[in-house]
Structure 1
């Protein structure tokens, strides 16, 4: 690889890592709000709690990669993403079908994360940042597992929502 290509890839990779760290910060804000409000969906609550722990570890992985590159995450991006996550979660809180809207949004968010980590892995390989690849691949597997779980559970959440609504209008959360 030429020096020019490396000079191009490194800043792109660092920016992508910082963006991913902020994205995980946003994910934590969203999950924390959802966890606070879930009352009638124990399977979803348990899986969100588990994924929250995974997300915290994912942030640590990103910090480790950035540190290896002599860089740091962006506190500004993290703060902005956290606010955006809180606002997104609050937007669904007023909806009568909050749990459904959250589930749909979570599926979309996981897809976004999958694309982000796939891109970061591509950049890491292209830039020769080989130590980052296994860490990013581990996170990608976790995001893919969460996306699969959410996708598989849309029918279960929907059925539970219908049943709770039918028995007194408690399906919202």
Structure 2
């Protein structure tokens, strides 16, 4: 995509983020299956539901803002982050060590999404897209909350169990 205006940058980042969320829905199903901890599996399942809602918000944004059209593209960064999670699965047994590594991989994804949505909110504000700001800000807050939940789960539940081995 040839970017010549700030609108083009917004559309590019929005399209990339849309692709990232779509890829993540497939990955979260696998992460939920591959976690040994029921709590971690449930956290991944809950985040899958949130991610589906986030995709719906992006769809609402596009429907509401006539100047915004999502381009078909593939988020290479998310593809790489998901590949890292797959490498964790392939190189570990299904136990608390894998769970700790999966949390780390999931938090990389969350930090990427926090950066993406933070930038999208700022661009939407600058472009005067008030409804988009509201939708994107809601998703940004969900991503931050998920990151905190993953940290709490790691610190209070998963990581202490790895040290017992």
TM norm. shorter chain > 0.5:
yes
Counterpart residue number, 1:90:
86
Does the 8 A contact of 2:110 with 2:144 survive in 1? Answer: yes
Q: Structure 1 residue 53 and structure 2 residue 59: aligned?
A: no
The 8 Å contact of residues 121 and 137 in structure 2, kept in 1 or not, is answered as yes
**Per-residue CA distance 1:9-45 (angstroms, 9 max, x = gap):** 211111111111112123223211111212x311111
Alignment-derived partner of residue 153 in structure 1: 153
Give 1:70 deviation, angstroms. Answer: 4.8
Provide TM-score, normalisation by structure 2. Answer: 0.82
CA distance in 1 between partners of 2:140 and 2:123 (Å): 14
Match of 2:74, SS? helix
Q: Which residue of 1 aligns with 2:105?
A: 105
Residue 31 of structure 1: aligned partner: 28
Give the alignment's Cα RMSD to 1 decimal.
2.3
Q: State the number of aligned residues.
A: 156
> Mind listing any 5+ residue stretches in structure 1 that lack a counterpart?
1-6, 167-173
Poorly superposed stretches of 4+, deviation over 4 Å:
80-86
Listed as ranges, the gaps of 5+ residues in structure 2 are none
